[in-house]
């Protein structure tokens, strides 16, 4: 059986670990609030944008933008992989990376795949596997993501798509559905799947706040030209949204992981405390036996 | 006094303006336009430039807008921009730095300089400085 001193120092060290994990949990909680606010602030822009886009997309044909046209033969694929910069967030990054692995083994088998990595964990993985990395963005995840990151990398992708360097682009990110639910998701962003999806059930006529129907927009320049300008922006919006969602998911995942770790620490401390008490009691008992034995011997 | 209608300027980061106004003029890509309450529904892309509007009390206000889109409805104008700031929020030193950087890039003429991007950056910087210096 371990000595009293050993058990005691174990208890102290587990308690220290517990302090760290519970502090990390609190940090993650406050960061989570920050990125949820950023998501909240982004919502009006995104929803208004898709509303306007939907209203003009309904009027246009499929051939308004080269971004809509899928290539006859898909050889080169770019995958945007959103992960976190830091670990200690449970299976968060592994889940996202597994999604990429699964894609590489199925749909993307035999194709030339290159990665654009947002976040250090995904970058490290891609590097280790020897996958080519077109671009990497480290130090942006989890903090205040700037829109220029999304528009800059989005523009680069659009350029290489138009030049034929890339035939398809996929986005892997973590969809934030709630504190306990973050789902790794794959989304095709280039070629743009179809205008029908953008239009959804949106009515093409604009509606004012009171719900009365208004005449169709007068567009300046033409609605096709406007759509041509808006579609690339819509890609930036999707990337930005993915970055925000992944950041938020990261904090939520870390919060849960740290909460579990804190609980596990408590359990271990309880167990160790029992061992400590037992050891102490055993010591006292054996001391008593010695004393009693000694007394008996003297008497005899 | 002109009838009031609503102006909303939203960027991905936040809503910059959300208030009742009397009139607005904005730099449409096909030309500057002005809107009052009851304007027909209208959609346009915007150039880099300044948005001027009269707020409910009749004060002239100014915003810098970095391109984007404007949707005009009879009782509401919505402006979607990647960035927009009120005149007082313009960071003059940052804009001047950006101007110097862009000019340096354009004059260097290195092979890998993205001329279009550098020109756009210069354009933005000059506009911001101009607006900030109007008194």
A218 CB near a chain B CB, below 8 Å? yes
DSSP string, chain A: ---HHHHHHHHHHHHHHHHHHHHHHHHHHHHHHHHHHHHHHHHHHHHHHHHHHHHHHTTS-TTS-GGGPPPSS--EEEEEEE--SS--STTHHHHHHHHHHHHHHTTTTTSEEEEEEESHHHHHHHHHHT--EEEEE-S-TTS---HHHHHHHHHHHHHHHHHTS-SEEEEEEEEEEETTEEEEEEEEEES---HHHHHTT--SS-B-TT--B-PPPEEES-HHHHHHHHHHHHHHHHHHHHHHHHHHHHHHHHHHHHHHHHHHHHHHHHHHHHHHHHHHHHHHHHHHHHHHHHHHHHH-
Same domain membership, residue A166 and residue A139? yes
| Partner-chain contact B73 A206, CB within 8 Å | yes
Same domain membership, residue B126 and residue B68? no
**CA distance to partner chain B, nearest, from residue A191 (Å):** 23
Q: What is the CATH number of the domain that holds A216?
A: 3.40.1380.10
Same domain membership, residue A34 and residue A19? no
pLDDT for B64-96, tens place per residue? 898 889 989 888 899 999 888 888 888 888 888
Per run of 10 residues, the mean pLDDT along chain A (length 300 residues) is 84 95 93 90 88 76 74 86 89 91 86 90 90 87 82 88 88 89 87 65 49 65 82 90 92 93 95 93 93 88
Enclosing domain of residue B97:
91-133
ipTM exceeding cut-off 0.95 for this assembly? no
Q: Does any domain span residue A294? A: no
Task: Name every chain A residue with its beta carbon within 8 A of the beta carbon of B78.
Answer: 48, 52
pLDDT for B17-41, tens place per residue? 889 999 999 998 888 999 998 888 8
- Nearest chain B Cα to A146, which residue? B13
Residues 58-97 of A with CB under 8 A from B: none
Same domain membership, residue B104 and residue B46? no
Enclosing domain of residue A11:
4-24+256-289
Of the candidates A147, A215, A221, the beta carbon closest to that of B12 is on A147
Number of structural domains in chain B: 2
């Amino acid at each position: 059986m371990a000595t009293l001193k050993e058990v005691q120092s174990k208890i102290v060290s587990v308690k220290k670990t517990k302090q760290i994990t519970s502090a990390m949990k609190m940090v993650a909680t406050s960061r989570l609030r920050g990125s949820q606010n950023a998501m909240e602030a982004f919502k009006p822009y995104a929803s208004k944008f898709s509303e306007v886009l939907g209203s003009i997309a309904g009027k246009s044909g499929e051939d308004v933008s080269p971004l809509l046209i899928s290539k006859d033969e898909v050889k080169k694929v770019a995958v945007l992989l959103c992960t976190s910069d830091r670990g200690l967030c449970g299976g968060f990054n592994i889940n996202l990376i597994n999604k990429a692995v699964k894609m590489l083994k199925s749909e993307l088998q035999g194709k030339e795949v290159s990665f654009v990595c947002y976040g250090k964990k995904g970058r490290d993985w891609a590097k280790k596997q020897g996958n080519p990395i077109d671009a990497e963005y480290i130090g942006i995840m989890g903090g205040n993501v700037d829109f220029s990151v999304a528009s800059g990398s989005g523009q680069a992708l659009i350029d290489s798509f138009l030049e034929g360097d890339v035939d398809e682009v996929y986005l892997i990110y973590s969809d934030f559905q709630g504190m306990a639910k973050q789902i790794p998701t794959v989304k095709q962003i280039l070629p743009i799947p179809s205008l029908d999806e953008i239009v959804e059930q949106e009515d093409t006529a604009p509606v004012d706040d009171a719900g009365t129907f208004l005449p169709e927009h007068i567009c300046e320049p033409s609605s096709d030209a406007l759509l041509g300008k808006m579609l690339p922006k819509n890609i930036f919006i999707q990337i930005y949204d993915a970055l925000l969602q992944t950041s938020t998911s990261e904090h939520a995942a870390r919060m849960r992981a740290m909460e579990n770790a804190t609980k596990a620490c408590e359990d271990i401390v309880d167990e160790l405390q029992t061992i400590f008490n037992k050891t102490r009691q055993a010591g006292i008992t054996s001391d008593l036996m010695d004393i009693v034995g000694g007394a008996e011997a003297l008497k005899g | 006094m002109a009838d009031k209608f609503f102006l909303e300027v939203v960027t991905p980061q936040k809503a910059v303006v959300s208030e009742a106004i009397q009139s607005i003029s904005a730099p449409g890509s096909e030309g500057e336009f002005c809107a009052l309450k009851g304007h027909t529904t209208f959609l346009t892309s915007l150039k880099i430039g300044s948005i001027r509007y009269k707020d409910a009390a009749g004060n002239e206000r100014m915003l810098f807008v970095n391109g984007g889109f404007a949707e005009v409805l009879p009782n509401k104008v919505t402006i979607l921009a990647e960035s927009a700031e009120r005149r007082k929020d313009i960071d003059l030193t940052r804009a001047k730095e950006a101007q110097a950087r862009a000019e340096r890039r354009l004059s260097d003429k290195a092979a890998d300089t993205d001329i279009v991007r550098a020109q756009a950056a210069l354009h933005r910087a000059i506009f911001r400085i101009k607006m900030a210096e109007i008194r």
